[in-house]
Structure 1
């Protein structure tokens, strides 16, 4: 039982850092188009070489599992700062940017074990459970090329992780055509899950985005997602629920910057490890654009 909870805790920690540090959209440039008295918005990335966008990300998650009558809880709380730096803007509009972790403060507790705490700016050595995260601080995790719609063209990983929580890619794929308030578009995504037999199963997910409103130059998008692949094993379902995106995003339409993102999870899975087992997963991730310049802490 302790092994199960410890593994879940490690997965939550990696997912927290990956989600907080690697899943946000950079931002969009919106063009207002008049068409028969209706207003539509062309959402496109429009970042220039040298642009730096710093974000603060907070991820809080609590997982309670019950197996054969015994219950334990795993909790994580991660606050991180990271930034995107546009290193090149090509003639065709594609943008190349680096993704860098600047600092992180995290806590983790599995069951009755002692709570682990570490702040990268404290100068203290990270506990063994956090050393993988510590080794990434101050480094470029990946160099990514995206087109104007946010579609990922290529990626060069530098020791980082492609794992994510909720938002599957590092950028949000925008609709092909201008859209009006109330209209939606969908983005397909795939996620790899492992069955109880040790096989890898590809799960197809559809993320639906809706332009909810545009006020004073700020666009609010609602996002919901659902798996399209039939899931017959609850052990697989327990992995998938952490990958579903449900929440909202706010963009500065005029200046092409993401201002805020919030994703929430409230999931229950029964039978993920035997007929009497159960898992409760509660989490929230928020991301906010910072006004002050980003500062990268030196690794201890």
Structure 2
């Protein structure tokens, strides 16, 4: 059985037609420095929604699995290091989860309900209200150190915590690449490393907010359909909004619409449809469960 990890395609517009070109505050050729600015003592609160539907057909047997998760999390910004690097604690405050596998009964759990979680959600429940990691980043969002504090490694559909921003100021229409690797298991049991490049493009800037498109491009050939089925869910395609003035993510949306034929035999098929959204919010309570 394959394990599928949780992870809109954009056409680059002519800069002359972009909304930013109509903004009298700057010209199209102006360059923008994208940097994180986190102030000690503040809290950044985010809501992350992840919904996915996977349909598989193997030897004529079809099965549909669906998941839906809404999680509330926050960063506690700590004092900076002597070198001026930013430090924050990552905390997941609450989660609402729904899961259905095939014809089985739908499983639901809300961490704020006070009810014990179903066994399938036990590891996630252990994370609620706890400091999961202390992370140190530089202004470009590069993770310099991470101290994990235990608990499950479940991502809750959140993906990476920070964006890796370009080293130099960037103009509208320009792009930068961020390489990373994912692992896939071959049919003979061996593990293959797949190199992927995430391509970010600055689409527009309005009122201090940068809109970025992101598209993943595989660099390693994926000739085996079984490998492609494992990797497509970790290919990021979508849109990001970044607050240039205050130095933080405002929102992110990633979409998947993938079909892989032959991933487990000639007549097998996998369809994966999913969306993950993340947005900066205010007023989310910092409690994992009701007393």
Secondary structure, counterpart of 1:57 in structure 2: strand
TM-score (structure 1 length as normaliser):
0.85
Q: Distance in 1 between matches of 2:200 and 2:165?
A: 9
Q: Indicate whether 1:41 and 2:32 are aligned.
A: yes
Partner residue, 1:159: 150
Partner residue, 1:146: 137
Q: Distance in 2 between matches of 1:117 and 1:162?
A: 20
Unaligned runs of 5+ residues in structure 1 are 20-33
Aligned counterpart for 1:197 among listed residues 182, 188, 199: 188
Q: How does 1:236-251 map to 2 (within 5 A)?
A: 236-251=227-242
Q: How does 1:73-112 map to 2 (within 5 A)?
A: 73-112=64-103
Secondary structure, counterpart of 2:181 in structure 1: strand
TM-score (structure 2 length as normaliser):
0.87
Q: Indicate whether 1:58 and 2:49 are aligned.
A: yes
Q: Distance in 1 between matches of 2:69 and 2:272?
A: 16
Q: Structure 1 pair 237/165, CA: closer, same or farther in 2 (3 Å)?
A: farther
Partner residue, 1:285: 276
Unaligned runs of 5+ residues in structure 2 are 8-24
Moved over 4 A (4+): 34-37, 160-168
- Determine if contact 2:100/2:106 at 8 Å carries over to the other structure: yes
Secondary structure, counterpart of 1:211 in structure 2: strand
Q: Structure 1 pair 166/298, CA: closer, same or farther in 2 (3 Å)?
A: closer
1:80-118 CA deviation, whole Å, 9 max, x = no partner?
100111223123231121111100001000000000000
Over the residues paired in the alignment, what is the CA RMSD in angstroms? 2.3
Partner residue, 1:22: none
Aligned counterpart for 2:216 among listed residues 225, 233, 238: 225
